[in-house]
Amino acid sequence: MKVKATLKGDSAEVKIMAESLMAGKEEAAAKKLPAEEYITHITAKLNGKTVWEASTGPFLSKDPYFKFDINGAKAGDEIVVDSVDNKGKKDTGTAKIK
């Protein structure tokens, strides 16, 4: 997972590129994958506090991309992003706000 966070005034713009095929049952069957594979939930924390969440399904694009703003962020603050998929596989990405 890639995470980037850039300060823009008093908010930070966060960009995430997660890693998943985001394949639902139809796509898994069409591509002859062993099983469905898609991220179901992603959370972003700023200095340990949850500031953004997404409940997700297989109709987001492959390696899903997200962009959002966080109020009240400062340069040097840490963003931690955690994802989990339908099989319980977890992934984490971090970024310091620049």
Q: Could you count the other beta carbons within 10 Å of the beta carbon of residue 50?
A: 11
Q: Binding to another protein (CB under 8 A): which residues in 61-80?
A: 61-62, 64-71
- C-beta closer to another protein: residue 71 or 94: 71
- Assess 4 for contact with another protein (CB under 8 A): no
Contacts of 38 (CB under 8 A, 6+ apart): 20, 21, 22, 23, 24, 56, 57, 58, 60, 85, 86
Nearest CA among 56, 45, 49 for reference residue 14: 45
Near another protein by CB under 8 A: residue from 4, 19, 60, 80 = 60
- C-beta closer to another protein: residue 17 or 75: 17
Residue 5 three-state SS: strand
- Assess 55 for contact with another protein (CB under 8 A): yes
Residue 10-39 contact track with another protein, rule CB under 8 A, x = bound: -x-x--------xxx-xx-xxx--------
Here the tokens at position 90 are: 């977890």
| Residues contributing to the site for another protein (CB under 8 A) | 11, 13, 22-24, 26-27, 29-31, 40-41, 43, 50-62, 64-71
